Amino acid sequence: MNVTKLHPVSLPSMPTDLASLEAWFDQRLDEQLAAREAAKIPSLAIIATKGTMDMAYPPFILASTAAALGWDASIFFTFYGLELLKKDLTIKVSPLGNPAMPMKMPFGPEWLKRINMPIPNMLACNLPGFEHFATSMMEQTVKAKGVPSIRELRDICVESGVRLVACQMTVDLFNFRKDEFIPDIAEWIGATSYLAEAKKADVCLFI
């Protein structure tokens, strides 16, 4: 009968004096923590509350970028932000209350396109059709610069695995029907449920 000879396993030598032993343990702990940090997948949680075109870009751009970097990303759409998940995506730019928004010509010579035209809120509020005009200008600017539309960015988020989460309370509050929204919504939950998820995220943003 053949007997397999076992060879002793060599273990890393441990120091014997107390000071060296403490330093050894500290080093081992640092190595373990570093390894755990390197293996950790970063996460991003975004709370989207606005339903205008200009405020739709930040959550979708940030979430899709995070997903492209390998992060776990989710967006919680609540109140007017829920408009961004509708099948019929008819969102507009709202210059009112947004005095820092630049109004620039999306076409024409370069010197004209560089001019920032500040539009007073009083004018934007009272000029008929100004919201439609501002939206058209923004859409042309985005297209001219090769930036994806909101619908395209939303599709990119879906394809890259971003979790789109809808606020059930908002649905009930505004008497929405679930068939008004895209079928790619991961969950219909309340703030309590989403906050339990958001508190674990590495980055949490309110937009």
Decide if 6 is inside a domain. Answer: no
Rounded to whole angstroms, how far apart are CA atoms 88 and 42?
Answer: 33
Q: What is the pLDDT of residue 106?
A: 57
- Asked if the structure places residue 70 within a domain, the reply is yes
Q: Is residue 3 part of a domain?
A: no
- Taking the whole predicted model, whether its pTM rises above 0.85 is answered as no
Q: Which parts of 72-205 fold into alpha helices (H)?
A: 110-113, 121-126, 130-144, 150-159, 168-173, 191-198
What's the domain count of the chain? 1
Domain CATH number, residue 81: 3.40.1260.10
Q: Is residue 91 part of a domain?
A: yes
Higher pLDDT, 130 or 175: 175
The answer to whether position 79 is within a domain reads yes
Domain hosting 57: range is 45-206
How far is the C-alpha of 195 from the C-alpha of 177, rounded, in Å?
A: 24
- Tokens read off for 94: 């709202």
pLDDT in tens, 110-166: 655 565 555 545 455 555 555 666 666 676 767 767 788 899 999 999 999 999 999
Tens digits of residue pLDDT in 71-80: 999 999 999 9
pLDDT score of 95 more than 80: no
Q: Is residue 168 part of a domain?
A: yes
